[in-house]
Amino acid sequence: MVIVPKANESDVKEALQEIGGTTLTIHYVSHMDEVLKLALTSDPMPKSQKKKAAGKPVKKEAPKKVAVKKTAPKKAVAKPKTKRK
């Protein structure tokens, strides 16, 4: 499924004609509420997977340690003065 702004409908149809069509379902929308209705209508995890996942604890990974090299702060170097003509 592809969600596209209604204003781009003619461009998408023109592009589809050039490439010879598509097997995708294209929805043209005018407002964000239409996007939300289309995008949030189905549950991505089937019930069978939910039952299996419900009994298993969630594994949390420990944060990875990163070595940080400490360096002394750099000293400011004065630029030499140039003579103006």
Ranges of each domain in the chain:
2-42
Q: HEC profile for the chain? A: CEEEEHHHHHHHHHHHHHHCCCCCCEEEECCHHHHHHHHCCCCCCCHHHHHHHHCCCCCCCCCCCCCCCCCCCCCCCCCCCCCCC
Asked whether residue 35 carries a pLDDT value surpassing 80, the answer given is yes
- Provide the mean pLDDT of the chain: 78
> What mean pLDDT is predicted for residues 57-76?
68
Asked whether residue 39 carries a pLDDT value surpassing 70, the answer given is yes
**pLDDT tier at 20, thresholds 50, 70, 90:** confident
> What mean pLDDT is predicted for residues 49-73?
66
pTM for the whole structure: 0.46
